[in-house]
Amino acid sequence: MRIDDRGSVSIEAALALSSLVIVAAAIIGALATMGAHLAAIHAASAGARAYAIGTDYAPARGHIEVTTGTDTVTVTATVPAVFGDMTATAVAPLEGH
């Protein structure tokens, strides 16, 4: 009795293609997470600058937490991402102190 190999190439191609799709999705997710990290850095620094001069700031993505000390303001920004939330913190001196 002879073993029939017909269709094995189709199965191998389907497995290879699904592996490529998974790798591509992981790369896209990683790039989106890096973008969220950069957005968190920008939101934290822009928020610290804004609150240092006494104005409000609302980031386009995510949310910020503001802590005011005696002569500095600390802003922590959190932006949701594909692989978890990205967080960044910035400190700025208060104007007029």
Dist. CA 10–CA 40, nearest whole Å: 45
Determine if the pTM surpasses 0.95. Answer: no
Q: Which residue would you say has higher pLDDT here, 12 or 9?
A: 12
**DSSP 3-state assignment of 68?**
strand
Domain count, the chain: 1
Task: Identify the band that residue 9 occupies on the pLDDT scale cut at 50, 70 and 90.
Answer: confident
- pLDDT at position 79: 97
Is residue 23 a part of any domain in this protein? yes
Residue 72 backbone phi and psi in degrees, to 5: -135, 160
Per-residue pLDDT for 1 more than 80?
A: no
Q: Which residue would you say has higher pLDDT here, 9 or 66?
A: 66
Is residue 3 a part of any domain in this protein? no
Distances in Å between the alpha carbon of 36 and those of 7, 85, 89, 91?
A: 44, 8, 14, 20
- pLDDT at position 2: 57
Range of the domain at 23: 8-93
